[in-house]
Chains A and B, each alone.
Chain A
């Protein structure tokens, strides 16, 4: 808790910088408008103009806040919380793809990790490729997956979830292999002295020991899933989802819309990763590891 003051200070400093940058970046357009209107701008006018432009280069935080409120809270109050113009709707679209992809990716990742730990052939054949694939910008194939799956008649949620799955899969495999191999030789020998079956060794030693590693990679996987879902929404022609909002905003120069989508995406990421953090704390506490 002793970090609260420093964190707040840093956050406030960032906000101040943001406001200052808004003045600086939007000033040329403000001067331009004033010149055409034949008005001299004093400093107060300049500041108030730069913080309230329609399509500013950098919208001020309160403009973004107002836009987010307008497209979330206000629409909920009007009973249109799930309309196509609401950010809640778009966040939901992105979230569902993220969550589905994350679950699939985690499941597959854990399965493959178990295979790698227990099968020497798989370990030596697959593991180098898994590690190598982490260094590859996998996201580059996102547009192709979307288009190809569309061409064979799969559209909507699934193609995006596939990209999310693909992105969350690799961190989980790497983390889980490390985790399942984390018991010390002494602990494994101990299991041998009790002549435990491989299944018992797995459930009672390897799996519990792997939990800290699993959660660390789940956090990475979740963040990657969200990025995957957002990027997966780009080539679909900007229909729905936070990625679509980003793209539409950039087409029409709606900077406030871009920033509000961005902040929503950040919030979503924070909530999802935070959720895993809570899960981690509960699990590890119950296991006596935290």
Chain B
């Protein structure tokens, strides 16, 4: 693992003007993400974790502070296709097959036809969906759809993967399975992953770094470097180390609520 910083936010703030007055979605958020990190953002709804991710992706514009992705502004990073983004819902196009959906960004980015075919086949293999290329999204289960949407984000080989509660809508068993697959994918490809979640076990199981956030205003209350090894079987979740980190995350979350509870 190198020490190269991939995403760097300094005093980042974002304020939405609403009819009920300004909402501080993010306030003075400072964070560095190193290459190869798996960073989870966890916190109650309204804590700005999704907003933070959208700032990295240039889908929101911060109102204060600075943020760089790969050393340049998020907009330049977006235009150089530096990251793949996975939304909460799979969001596959119903009129395209699974293969056609994964091919979509490749078409937009102007890859040659032969290369498209080869890349589609490769990422389908990567997410364990080989053989489903010709199926339509609505013929697949929710978990398979979400895997296809991850494959779509992987297809153009961006070094950064931004994931916004990608498994939030799936049931526990499918979720475990996808978590395991995502970890092994991360291990094999050495990508930098930013992962928004509101599940404590998911955050602890996946991450090398857990960022605990709290709402009103959205801010970071704790950053936990995970001592867990890169190799993580599912039953690591029963070890004392795992439980200890989970406790620390829970404490951080509770502290963030302040007197709200």
A and B touch in the complex (CB under 8 A): no
Residues of chain A whose beta carbon lies under 8 Å from any beta carbon of chain B: none
